[in-house]
Amino acid sequence: MKLKKKLISVLTAGALAVCLTACGAEEDPSSGKSPSTSKKYTIGICQLLEHEALDSATKGFKDALTEKLGKDNVDFDEQNAQGESTNCSTICNNFVTNNVDLIMANATGALQAASQATADIPILGTSVTDYATALNISNWSGKTGTNVSGTSDLAPIDQQEDMILELIPDVKKVGILYCSSEPNSSYQSDLMKKALDEDKIAYKEYTAADSNEIQTITTTACGECDVLYVPTDNTMASSAETIKNIAVPAGIPMIAGEAGLCSAGIATLSISYYDLGYQTGEMAYDILTNNKKAGDVDVAFANKFTKMYNEENCKALNIEIPEGYSKLETKSE
């Protein structure tokens, strides 16, 4: 009888140990952490080119998924297309061949290439201004209805136009500069023209086919206009220093569509691209773990916009910044 009781005691203790081990493998719901997953995911990241905004969005995306899935449960195949659309196509086709679990397309050119490469693998864009324009979708409802969703970096254009009037109240003519090969830049230009029309302010568009033409169009615009506006535009952002070296010595202030471009400007109404990328990562987690279809998920927008100013350029152009603006941190600081 004693032997039997001892055996029962040992078995009971063993069962309890197994139970405790199993319970310990789950995260405490009150900890705020996501439960670990046994599946390992491979995520393809196609970033159009290197610059501050896109780099921040990619970092935010990776941080979100790493935190939610666990660093051992996700691999990132991160590729940079160096500004070439053909490279975007090659990268995304390779992702399809390798059967990744999800593609993150950072910027419009990357999104277009990814959507052409696959109709099956879920795709999330970020740093994309308008999905209907990028994907040529009519009757836009907020969802693509395909395998694509993501986040938009569009800041309110009417509020950017308000900044022009606030900081340069005697403005006579605005030069709108953008790259003609970026459809979302044209979309933003149209919104700005509409806002300027409502306030009866003259404007002229100056478009560059690529970065090689930016110096020419900036020089021409500075000779014909008293204010420049450059929307969120990857090609222009990659040449921000070129724009600054022409506009500031010419005494022409620029309002920028985002903070990275504002190295050449005086002010911007901007978002956090890190936060936008993080938001995209949260969407990816939901799609991967809850079997949601990307096309059924609304495209999301930033929920916070900050009025920022470039102190160095404002001083050079003798422009006083009113209250309500935050100082933009520059690389030289």
Q: Is the pLDDT of residue 50 over 60?
A: yes
Q: Enumerate the domain spans of the chain.
A: 41-153+272-301, 157-270+306-327
- Between helix 240-250 and helix 214-224 the angle, nearest 10°, is 20
pLDDT tens, position by position, 150-173: 999 998 999 999 999 999 999 999
pLDDT at 18: 40
Tell me if residue 322 falls in helix, strand or coil. Answer: coil
- List, as one string, the DSSP characters of 143-201: S-SSSEEEEE----HHHHHHHHHHH-TT--EEEEEEETT-HHHHHHHHHHHHHHHHTT-
How confident is the model over 246-287, as pLDDT tens digits?
999 999 999 999 998 999 999 999 899 999 999 999 999 999
157-270+306-327 matches 41-153+272-301 in CATH topology:
yes
Distance (Å, rounded) from C-alpha 87 to C-alpha 268? 31
Among 71-75, 124-128, 183-187, 213-217, which is the least confidently predicted range? Answer: 183-187
Give, for 281, the enclosing helix (H) or strand (E): helix 273-290
**Is the pLDDT assigned to residue 201 strictly greater than 50?**
yes
Q: For position 313, what pLDDT does the model report?
A: 97
Q: Which tokens is 54 given?
A: 């896109």
Query: Where is 314: in which H helix or E strand?
Result: helix 311-316
pLDDT at 9 exceeding the cut of 70: no
- Residue 34: name the closest of 66, 74, 11 by CA: 66
Q: What is the CATH number of domain 157-270+306-327?
A: 3.40.50.2300
Residue 149 has pLDDT above 50, yes or no: yes
**What CATH number labels 41-153+272-301?**
3.40.50.2300
How much is the pTM? 0.79
Share of the chain above pLDDT 90, in %: 80
- What's the CA gap between 12 and 119, in Å, rounded? 53
Q: Does the pLDDT at position 10 exceed 70?
A: no
Mean pLDDT of the chain: 89
Separation of alpha carbons 32 and 27, rounded Å:
9
Q: Report the pLDDT value the prediction gives residue 37, as an integer from 0 to 100.
A: 54
- Does pLDDT of 24 surpass 80? no
The β-bridge partners of 205 are 176
DSSP letter for 310, please: -
- d(CA 224, CA 205) in angstroms, rounded, equals 11
If one compares 18 and 183, the residue with the highest pLDDT of the two is 183
**pLDDT, position 32:** 41
